[in-house]
Structure 1
Amino acid sequence: MAPLSWRHHTLLQALLSRGPQSERDFHALFAAISGGKNPATNQHLFNDVLLKINKELSYLQFELRACINQYDGTVYYGVVNNIADEESKLGSKYSVPQIAFYKGLLEAIVHEAGNDGSITNIDALNTRIENQVVIADSSQDSQSRLPTSITNFSMSQKEKTLNELIQDRWLSYTPTGKIGLGIRSFLDLRSWFRSNDIPSCEVCNEAGIKATTCPNEGCNVRIHEYCLKKKFSQRKASRACHGCGTEWPRLEGEDDGTEDVNGTEDVNESEDQVPSANRRSKNRRKVKSEILEETERTGSSARMTRRSLRSAKAEAVEVAREAATAGPSQSTRASKRRKSAGLHICIAYGPAGVTYN
């Protein structure tokens, strides 16, 4: 296998030095080192790069992995250790009581009764850590054999450790202001979730830490909110629970799929939603149509005028011929007829579309 290039090293270095990166930031970094190739449109190239990195990392029991922050649905990428042994614990900056405190918080969060994946700050600080320490010899009083670092772990030390765990993204503040798991916990503890029988999401098969439960109290089915929206995005999709058949309620802001039977909208409402540019276009077409109609009427009036003019000229010629062959009385009548014809000609040349009496 060819060695990793500087592009692979750059991706690894970014994740190791900065910690887990959101999909948006990681994709932007990939595009910058690959000549502007967006992973969304070059998925095959993106997958090949990650596969090559993971083949090299497998010798060290590491893995470049993606996961979803269950509190907001954001995808993250990070490098994790696949082996949780005593040697790996040496690389941690946390002390034994701090690790025990984190384990106590982890259990309290994942076993939270409402499946909300969070606990209050007060409950977090009141978490007991004595049960998180394993005593090799259980025949004697375990409480008396606890390390002093455990028994003397004060409330102020808990508060300081809690802030450090949030800063290092092992824990996080949820949108409701409670304490929840951080993105590093979602990345690193996938195997721990499965080994501790944490119920999985029915859709993605990942641990349902922050998930919506079936409305049937006797059913244990969980689905992440983002998986629920994806599953029921199609309006014809069945909303029946896979476990018990109970109808799954709609989430807040979810489209109920209701529309007019004929697929039409209210005319006035539709017109109100038409952009101003479209309205101007319609107005121009309307004015143009009116001009064409007026032109047709004008053309019709002009044709009538030309016919009247030809008739008047013919009549005038006839009168002139009669005057040449007739007497004085007939000449007088012919003169009157010429005046009448002249008046008719003037009327004929009036503005089109105007009626004269």
Structure 2
Amino acid sequence: MGVSQHDATKLFIQGFMARRIMSDRVARLLYKKCCAAVTACMPGQEPCPWSEERFNQLIEAVSTKLNPLDLQVANTIDDQTGRKMWLILNMKGDELAQLATEYSAAEIAFFKQLIEEIVTAPNESYSISSIHALKQLKFAKVGNKTITRAQGEVLLSSFVANGWLTKSARGRYMLGTRARMELEQYLLNNFEDLSADQECVICTALVFSGVRCTTTACKARLHKHCYENIQRRAETRNGKLDCPSCRSDWTGKTLRKVGEEAAGANDDQLRGRKQQESDEEGSEEERPARIVRKKGNAKGKKKYASYNALRLCSNCNLQGR
């Protein structure tokens, strides 16, 4: 069977499925490499050309092919780097998706505990230290299955590689782009502190890293890249920067931080002591849950698959994205 230009699309899908998440730069580079590989296999035939228009058509074609599998191609902005990211999202958290994972029940329990610690971090820091992350291994016991510290370190690296977590230069763990996209409904349904107040006033996505208004009564929050966009627009007008919500003057002011920069030096130590005190007061089963189930569908928006979505493609490799 001969090679055709359609094979470039097939190669791209295979590469995309293996990664599940990649930057826009890597996605374009991957398609260029696919086109070059197909062209090299078609001597004397019309080459497989690269163009911006063909790349956009490619994304549409990939979406069409994956939709019957309850998978969706989506793009977002990484709120840590500001880079455009492409993802393949699982839209159906059913038993089939759960079987597709290589994470054990204990590993899933560990990740679920990490989510709780990150989302409930004080001062809206939405991050935890590596030491505090490893301390959560004690909650990862399922039956007689436990995870050692060494295994926990490897598992944390796996969560980062697969896009579920992000590790900063300071060594703090935060929700990764994939987790924020695929688990958004799970987060909204299970954590009472996450609500419309935590949504960006510009793009309406949840803000886990960014800035918030200096006015105490104002709930406005913005991602870093959304804030930078309105800054640039203000500079092209009269230079005056106002809060998009309460219209208070932001010109020349340092806004309150959301995310890692809001973390206090002793936050994790204090939380660790509280956990220890809780453990001393009762067993793990008696420990009061901080997750509060909420009813409703978060303002009726269309959301992505729930927590079960993380049980998918655990061996993806994102190095070099």
TM superposition score normalised by structure 2: 0.62
2:173 to 175, 179, 187: 179
1:56 matched to 2:65? The reply is yes
Distance 2:189 2:58 in 1: 30
Q: Which moved more, 1:55-64 or 1:5-14?
A: 5-14
Match in the other structure for 2:30 = 29
Tell me the SS of whatever aligns to 2:87: strand
Question: What letter corresponds to residue 248 of structure 1 in structure 2?
Answer: W
Match in the other structure for 1:102 = 111
Gaps of 5+ in 1: 134-145, 253-357
Q: Is the 8 A contact 1:65 1:187 kept in 2?
A: no
Tell me the SS of whatever aligns to 2:88: strand
Match in the other structure for 1:262 = none
1:147 matched to 2:143? The reply is yes
249 and 82 in structure 1: CA distance in 2 versus 1, 3 angstrom threshold: farther
Aligned pairs for 1:161-200 within 5 A: 161-196=155-190, 197-198=194-195, 199-200=198-199
Aligned pairs for 1:283-302 within 5 A: none
Q: Is the 8 A contact 2:240 2:251 kept in 1?
A: no
Question: What letter corresponds to residue 27 of structure 2 in structure 1?
Answer: F
The offset of 1:112, in angstroms, is: 2.6
Distance 1:107 1:211 in 2: 20
Distance 1:188 1:231 in 2: 27
Distance 1:227 1:250 in 2: 17
TM superposition score normalised by structure 1: 0.57
1:122 matched to 2:131? The reply is yes
Aligned pairs for 1:137-286 within 5 A: 147-149=143-145, 152-196=146-190, 197-198=194-195, 199-234=198-233, 235=235, 236=237, 239-248=241-250
Tell me the SS of whatever aligns to 2:93: coil
Q: Is the 8 A contact 1:104 1:129 kept in 2?
A: no
Distance 2:65 2:108 in 1: 30
Q: Is the 8 A contact 1:62 1:80 kept in 2?
A: yes
Aligned pairs for 1:37-52 within 5 A: 37=51, 39=52, 42=53, 45-52=54-61
Gaps of 5+ in 2: 36-47, 255-321
Match in the other structure for 1:302 = none
Question: What letter corresponds to residue 241 of structure 1 in structure 2?
Answer: C
Distance 1:126 1:30 in 2: 42
The offset of 1:192, in angstroms, is: 3.1
Q: Is the 8 A contact 1:173 1:180 kept in 2?
A: yes
Distance 1:123 1:159 in 2: 12
Q: Deviation per CA, 1:306-342, whole angstroms, max 9, x where unpaired?
A: xxxxxxxxxxxxxxxxxxxxxxxxxxxxxxxxxxxxx
Distance 1:183 1:69 in 2: 6
Distance 1:118 1:102 in 2: 14
The offset of 1:206, in angstroms, is: 1.5
Q: Which moved more, 1:121-130 or 1:7-16?
A: 121-130
76 and 97 in structure 1: CA distance in 2 versus 1, 3 angstrom threshold: same
Question: What letter corresponds to residue 14 of structure 1 in structure 2?
Answer: G
Tell me the SS of whatever aligns to 2:111: helix
Q: Deviation per CA, 1:23-79, whole angstroms, max 9, x where unpaired?
A: 111122334525131x2xx3xx43333223212211110112212221111112122
Match in the other structure for 1:13 = 14
What's the Cα RMSD here? 2.8
Higher helix fraction: Structure 1 or Structure 2? 1
The offset of 1:179, in angstroms, is: 1.2
Question: What letter corresponds to residue 176 of structure 1 in structure 2?
Answer: R
147 and 250 in structure 1: CA distance in 2 versus 1, 3 angstrom threshold: farther
Distance 1:22 1:203 in 2: 22
The offset of 1:161, in angstroms, is: 2.3
Tell me the SS of whatever aligns to 1:242: coil
Higher relative contact order (CA 8 A, sep 6+): 2
Tell me the SS of whatever aligns to 1:47: helix
Q: Is the 8 A contact 1:115 1:212 kept in 2?
A: no
Match in the other structure for 1:355 = none
1:92 matched to 2:101? The reply is yes
The structure 1 segments of at least 4 consecutive aligned residues displaced by more than 6 Å after TM superposition are none
Match in the other structure for 1:141 = none
7 and 160 in structure 1: CA distance in 2 versus 1, 3 angstrom threshold: closer
Pick the structure with greater CA Rg: 1
Question: What letter corresponds to residue 229 of structure 2 in structure 1?
Answer: K
Distance 1:91 1:48 in 2: 29
